[in-house]
Amino acid sequence: MAKKEKIRLALIGAGNMANSVHYPSLAEFPDVEMAGICDLVEEKLKATAEKFHIERTFTDYKEMLDEIQPDSVYILVPPHHLFDLVIESLNRKLNVFIEKPPGITTEQTKNMARLAEKNHCLTMVGFQRRFSPVIVEARKKVEERGSIIQCAARFMKNYFAGPYYNGAVDILTADSIHAVDILRWMGGEVKKIVSSVKNLYAEYKNTFNALLEFENGAIGMLLTNWVVGKRIFSVEMHSKGISAFAEPDDKAVIYKDNEEKGETLLTQDAAKSKEKHKYAGFFTENRHFIDCLKEGKQPMTNFADSVKTMELVDRIYHSQM
């Protein structure tokens, strides 16, 4: 497939994630044309179009797709509004980028993945933690010593608002899935799992912990809890004689061979930027998607790969002690 010089995008959604991390990234790419944007709320639509110099605005996404004939569609809407828009785009044989989670059920994600494969569409789900510059650099340093033998993903919050989107999506699928997905990225596919899922101080499930054995023999740990003191996301990666402890909003520390003082990698230094959409991984995930479109190859977090993360979410629910 010939490499495309410029990617023409249709954008669906003018919400917070679109405005704060995705569109600022795309606006910096000289090989991207933000050709049109659609949202049902005209005030948000107009403000977003003006902010990112997008000339054409629509409140009907099918009309937009008809008129601007894009190469790819960004669909940045809540997960319970996602499915029909994705299916329509894939039926038009358009490449698609969506935020996590990829729908509200594994079956939805499987059906999107099947249609994408049938129509030869390139797809991506925004699991941006895999693209955090400081985490990527920490993993590279660990794997210089050998494959990862043990890893952990910790995601804590002080959050008592209930399941997401007024109850449309459970906490593990909607948000804790970040930790589930990055465990797969660090350790690979899961052979065995035993989990604990509980509701603490609430009527809904809000803490999810699991011990995993990966197919390569490595061990993984999921530690998530939505009723603790503060929000923190962190990962650990260990190999022979080396360990990395990373908090992607702050830093990673690498310890080698029992040395007391570790090597510190500051998050903003790793990203070469103080802008959150860059040091948090959104810029590099969007760059990855555009590069894959130009080269005609599937992105790392495509729909088929994301099915495996959704299946692991299901296994956490169904493998309780």
Q: Where are the domains of the chain?
A: 7-127, 129-273+303-318
Report the alpha-carbon distance of residue 131 to residue 278 in Å, rounded: 10
Report the alpha-carbon distance of residue 261 to residue 255 in Å, rounded: 7
Going from the C-alpha of 174 to that of each of 111, 164, 166, the distances in angstroms are: 19, 7, 12
pLDDT of amino acid 1: 44
pLDDT (tens, 9 = 90+) of the chain, 321 residues, equals: 456 679 999 999 999 999 999 999 999 999 999 999 999 999 999 999 999 999 999 999 999 999 999 999 999 999 999 999 999 999 999 999 999 999 999 999 999 999 999 999 999 999 999 999 999 999 999 999 999 999 999 999 999 999 999 999 999 999 999 999 999 999 999 999 999 999 999 999 999 999 999 999 999 999 999 999 999 999 999 999 999 999 999 999 999 999 999 999 999 999 999 999 999 999 999 999 999 999 999 999 999 999 999 999 999 999 988
Helix and strand counts by DSSP (H, E) for the chain: 14, 14
Do 7-127 and 129-273+303-318 have matching folds? no
List, in sequence order, every residue forming a beta bridge with 307; answer none if it has no partner.
Answer: none
3-state secondary structure of 201: coil
- What is the amino acid identity at position 177? I
- Give rounded-to-5 percent helix, strand, coil for the chain: 40, 30, 30
Pairing of strands 227-239, 219-225: unpaired
30: which residues sit within 8 A by CB, 6+ positions away?
A: none
199: which residues sit within 8 A by CB, 6+ positions away?
A: 205, 206, 207
Strand locations in 39-173 (E):
56-58, 72-75, 95-99, 123-126, 150-158
pLDDT of amino acid 4: 66
Q: b vs e for 140-175, b when ≥16 Cβ sit within 10 Å of the residue's Cβ?
A: ebbeebeebbbbbbbbbbebeeebbeeeebbbbbbb
Q: Is the pTM above the cut of 0.85?
A: yes
Q: Are 191 and 214 in contact (CB under 8 A)?
A: yes
pLDDT of amino acid 3: 61
For 129-273+303-318, CATH number? 3.30.360.10
- What is the amino acid identity at position 233? F
Task: Report the topology of domain 7-127.
Answer: Rossmann fold (3.40.50)
251: which residues sit within 8 A by CB, 6+ positions away?
A: 134, 264, 265, 266, 267
* Omega prior to 299 cis, within 30 of 0: no
